[in-house]
Amino acid sequence: MILDAPPGARTQRHLLDVEGLPRAEILRIIDLAVEMRAARAARSHRSLLEAETVGLAFYEGSTRTRVSFELAAKALGATVVDLGVAGSSVSKGESLVDTVRTLERTGVTALVLRHGAAGAPYLAARTTGMAIVNAGDGMHAHPTQALIDALTLREALGSLEGRVVAIVGDAAHSRVVRSNLHALLELGVRVRLGGPPAWVRGFDGRPGIEVAGSLNEALAGADAVMTLRVQLERAAVGGVPSLREYTRHWGLDEKRMRLAGTDAPILHPGPTNEGVEIAAELANGPRSLIGRQVENGVPIRMAVLALVAGAA
Ligand code: ASP
C-alpha cells in the first residue's frame, strides 16, 4: 500500500513523496516493477486497470515522465486523458483546484500531476477523491524518479546496503535529489554530495550524507555516481560564478570518472545539459545507465499506477 495521504485526504492511495516510505514499501514497488516489466513484454496485464481513467496534467515540461506514465497506463489497459495544460482552460486562468475537480467529475480516477509549485499534489489530494501521483512538484519531490534510480542502481550493483553513491551538481534546486536522498538512505546507501557551496548548502549534518568539498573527494572510490541537471529555469546560475566555472570544477567526463570505483556507473535523471554537468562521451559511453533509467520508467510507473488504483 502506498502511504502518505495528507491530513484530510479523501482517499488513502497516493504517491506524493518517497519521504516516509519505509524500506519495505520501496522494495515492494521496485520488485513489482520487475514483475510489471515482464507483464508488459508478455502483454499479460492489459486489462488490470481497464476500469480506471488516468489523467495526465503536466504544468511543467516533460518528455520521459509524461510519455512513460502514458505508456504505463496504457500497458495496464487504463483509459488515458492528457489535459494538455497549455491548450486547456488553465490558459484562461482556471485554478488548480477547479481543474482537478473538473477532471474528477469527468471520470478521471487517478491523476498524474506535475506542477511548478511545491505541494500542488498535496492540494489535489485534499480537494478531490482521485488517487494522486506526484510527477514532480517544484523543487520539492520527484518520487517515481527516485524509485527508477533505486531500481537501476540495484540492477547494476546488487544490494545497495553500505554502497557509496556520489551525487554531484545542483542539489539546491533539484527535486530529484531530495527524493533520491530519502530512497537511497532508506536502502542503506552512504551518500556523498558534491557541488559548489551554494548548491549543497543545508545538506550537511544530515545522517548518512557527507558533503564533499571537491570533485575528487566526492568521487573517490564511489560505487556509482549520479549527476544532476543544472536547473537553469530555477535560476540556478545565481549560485555559481558562471556555467563554465561550474563545468571546470564539477563537470563529469570519462577521465574524472576514473576517480570513482572501477566501472562505477554514471546516472543522470535527464534531460542532460551535455557539456555542462556531463560530457557527451560519458553520457553515451559504456559507464552510462542513463538509457536504462529511461527504460525503467515504464515498469516503475506501471507498478505505482497499479498500487494507487488498488490493483496490486
Ligand atoms: N526530469 C527531472 C525533473 O523533472 C530532472 C530534471 O529535469 O532535471 O525534475
CA-to-CA distance for 281 and 66, rounded, in angstroms? 27
pLDDT at 241: 87
- The helix/strand/coil state of 292 is helix
Q: Which of 68, 145, 234 to mutate to test the pocket of ligand 1 (most atoms within 8 A of CB)?
A: 145
pLDDT at 1: 38
| Residue 278 CB less than 6 A away from ligand 1 | no
CA-to-CA distance for 4 and 19, rounded, in angstroms? 8
List Cβ neighbours of 114 (8 Å cut-off, separation of 6 or more). Answer: 57, 58, 59, 60, 62, 65, 66, 134, 135, 136, 137
CA-to-CA distance for 289 and 303, rounded, in angstroms? 21
List Cβ neighbours of 80 (8 Å cut-off, separation of 6 or more). Answer: 53, 54, 55, 56, 70, 73, 74
Atom of ligand 1 nearest to the CA of 135: 4
CA distances to 106, 114, 173 from 139, rounded to whole Å, are 30, 11, 6
CA-to-CA distance for 297 and 227, rounded, in angstroms? 18
pLDDT tens, 89-112? 988 888 999 999 999 999 999 999
Give the Å distance between the CA of 75 and the centre of ligand 1. Answer: 24
Q: Is the pLDDT of residue 11 over 70?
A: no
Mean per-residue pLDDT of the chain: 94
Give the Å distance between the CA of 187 and the centre of ligand 1. Answer: 22
Give the Å distance between the CA of 44 and the centre of ligand 1. Answer: 31
In the 8-state DSSP scheme, what is residue 273?
A: -
Among 139, 143, 186, which residue's Cα sits nearest to residue 14? 143
| Residue 140 CB less than 6 A away from ligand 1 | no
| Residue 143 CB less than 6 A away from ligand 1 | no
- The helix/strand/coil state of 103 is helix
Q: Please give the grid coordinates belonging to residue 93.
A: 486562468
pLDDT tens, 229-265? 998 887 667 888 899 999 999 999 999 999 998 999 9
| Residue 229 CB less than 6 A away from ligand 1 | yes
Give the Å distance between the CA of 238 and the centre of ligand 1. Answer: 19
Residue 41, beta-bridge partner list = none
Give the Å distance between the CA of 184 and the centre of ligand 1. Answer: 18
Amino acid letter, residue 177: V
Give the Å distance between the CA of 94 and the centre of ligand 1. Answer: 25
CA-to-CA distance for 195 and 124, rounded, in angstroms? 34
Residue 274 CB burial class (10 angstroms; 0-12, 13-18, ≥19): middle
Give the Å distance between the CA of 278 and the centre of ligand 1. Answer: 15
| Residue 196 CB less than 6 A away from ligand 1 | no
Amino acid letter, residue 77: G
The protein residue with its alpha carbon nearest to ligand 1, atom 1, reads 270
DSSP E strand boundaries for 169-271: 190-194, 209-212, 224-227, 266-267
Global pTM? 0.95
The protein residue with its alpha carbon nearest to ligand 1, atom 8, reads 229
Give the Å distance between the CA of 232 and the centre of ligand 1. Answer: 11
CA-to-CA distance for 47 and 79, rounded, in angstroms? 11
pLDDT tens, 37-68? 999 999 999 999 999 999 999 999 999 999 99
Dihedral of the CA atoms 132, 138, 140, 143 (nearest 10)? 40
In the 8-state DSSP scheme, what is residue 85?
A: G
